[in-house]
């Protein structure tokens, strides 16, 4: 029988509410290191001790380090530094938006940093986009220059999401400074080259079914850019070279995306997975 290196008790709910958690931990400890994640994150406050859940399971798990994970949003940016000061290790990830409201609270953008840097002088420039539609020479020349540098670019996003991109750039500087001063693992706020972080992992759902990762374990909505997608709970081949859709100029209204494909013909696809481009990170 194959024994894993680690068993991680984690999911969309609160693991410590499970009434048989003690038995699960004891069983898992016989075969691997056990890691448990609780959602009680408020212990950094001066008037709050270690949370009830941590106290309850610290003896059982032989807790050695105060390691904290936190979801980064526009609302809690002021708290991040406080948490970093109180914890020995802090793992940050971006909010995965299931709705437009959640998307507005998140701080990432789906395009790559290279696309943003190349297009900085046309970010938010509605006139440029209009001139390109009317085949003005200067706009066509600029567009050719952009494509020669990055291959493809989502111009609608570059023009219409200017404030969001500038906010992401501000957060990027904040995270880099935070990392210089504390032991913090930070997410990308711009997409990087695509690579699945779960190639050597599996996710076991509460009903015992096995999935490639937590993101594909349940059917759920995902709001990116301009639309709500449906992520199907399904199985995929994690070794396939899925594309990343964030920079694609044809993304809005794409038949492939709307029907669950990607432009390589894969179905289901991981082409909109925020984990694959470092925007969302496993907080373990």
HSE-CB at 115 with a 13 A cutoff on CA atoms is 25
Q: What's the mean pLDDT in 259-281?
A: 87
Instruction: Determine whether 269 is exposed, middle or buried from the number of CB atoms within 10 Å of its CB (0-12, 13-18, 19+).
Output: buried
**Residue 121 is assigned to a structural domain of this protein:** yes
Check whether 284 has a pLDDT greater than 60: no
Q: For residue 55, what pLDDT is reported?
A: 45
Is residue 39 classed as helix, strand or coil in its secondary structure? coil
**Residue 61 is assigned to a structural domain of this protein:** no
Q: For residue 213, what pLDDT is reported?
A: 86
**Residue 144 is assigned to a structural domain of this protein:** yes
**Is the peptide bond preceding residue 163 cis, with omega within 30 degrees of 0?**
no
**Residue 124 is assigned to a structural domain of this protein:** yes
**Residue 128 is assigned to a structural domain of this protein:** yes
Q: For residue 61, what pLDDT is reported?
A: 46
Radius of gyration of the chain (CA): 21
CA distance 120 to 142: 12
Average pLDDT, whole number, for the chain? 82
Q: What's the mean pLDDT in 270-282?
A: 90
**Residue 73 is assigned to a structural domain of this protein:** no
Q: Give the number of domains in the chain.
A: 1
**Residue 32 is assigned to a structural domain of this protein:** no
Transcribe 132-194 into DSSP letters. Answer: HHTT-HHHHHHHHHHHHHHS---HHHHHHTHHHHHHHHHHHHHHHHHHHHS-EE---SSB-S-
pLDDT digit string (tens) for 140-161?
Answer: 999 999 999 988 899 989 999 9
pLDDT digit string (tens) for 71-125?
Answer: 889 988 888 888 788 778 888 999 999 999 999 999 999 999 999 999 999 999 9
- Where in the sequence is the domain holding 148, given as residue range(s)? 113-160
Q: What's the mean pLDDT in 61-76?
A: 71
Check whether 217 has a pLDDT greater than 80: yes
Check whether 240 has a pLDDT greater than 70: yes
Assign 42 a pLDDT band (cuts: 50, 70, 90).
very low
**Other beta carbons less than 10 A from residue 44's beta carbon:** 19
The C-alpha angle with vertex 142 and arms to 137 and 147, in degrees rounded to 5, equals 125
Q: For residue 11, what pLDDT is reported?
A: 66
**Other beta carbons less than 10 A from residue 215's beta carbon:** 20
**Residue 64 is assigned to a structural domain of this protein:** no
Sequence-distant (≥ 6) Cβ neighbours of residue 29 within 8 angstroms: none
Assign 58 a pLDDT band (cuts: 50, 70, 90).
very low
């Amino acid at each position: 029988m194959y024994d894993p290196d680690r068993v991680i008790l984690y999911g969309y709910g609160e693991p410590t509410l499970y009434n048989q958690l003690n038995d699960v931990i004891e069983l898992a400890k016989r075969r691997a290191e056990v890691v448990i994640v609780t959602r009680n994150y408020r212990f950094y406050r001066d008037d709050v001790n270690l949370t009830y859940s941590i106290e309850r399971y610290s003896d059982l798990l032989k807790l050695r380090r105060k390691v904290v994970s936190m979801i980064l949003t526009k609302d809690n940016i002021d708290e991040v530094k406080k948490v970093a000061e109180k914890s020995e290790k802090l793992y940050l990830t971006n909010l995965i938006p299931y709705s437009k409201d959640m998307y507005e609270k998140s701080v990432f953008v789906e395009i790559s940093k290279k696309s943003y840097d190349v297009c900085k002088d046309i970010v938010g420039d509605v006139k440029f986009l209009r001139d390109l539609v009317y085949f003005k020479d200067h706009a066509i020349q600029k567009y050719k220059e952009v494509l020669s540098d990055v291959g493809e670019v989502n111009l609608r996003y570059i023009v219409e999401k200017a404030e969001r991109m500038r906010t992401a750039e501000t957060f990027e500087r904040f995270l880099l400074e935070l990392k210089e001063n504390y032991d913090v693992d930070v997410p990308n706020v711009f997409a990087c080259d695509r690579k699945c972080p779960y190639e050597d992992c599996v996710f076991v759902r509460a009903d015992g079914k096995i999935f490639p990762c937590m993101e594909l374990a349940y059917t759920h909505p995902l709001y990116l850019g301009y639309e709500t997608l449906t992520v199907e709970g399904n199985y995929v081949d994690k070794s396939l070279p899925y594309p990343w859709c964030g920079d694609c100029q044809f993304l809005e209204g794409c038949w492939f995306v709307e029907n669950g494909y990607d432009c390589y013909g894969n179905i289901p696809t991981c082409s909109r997975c925020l984990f694959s481009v470092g925007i969302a990170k496993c907080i373990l």
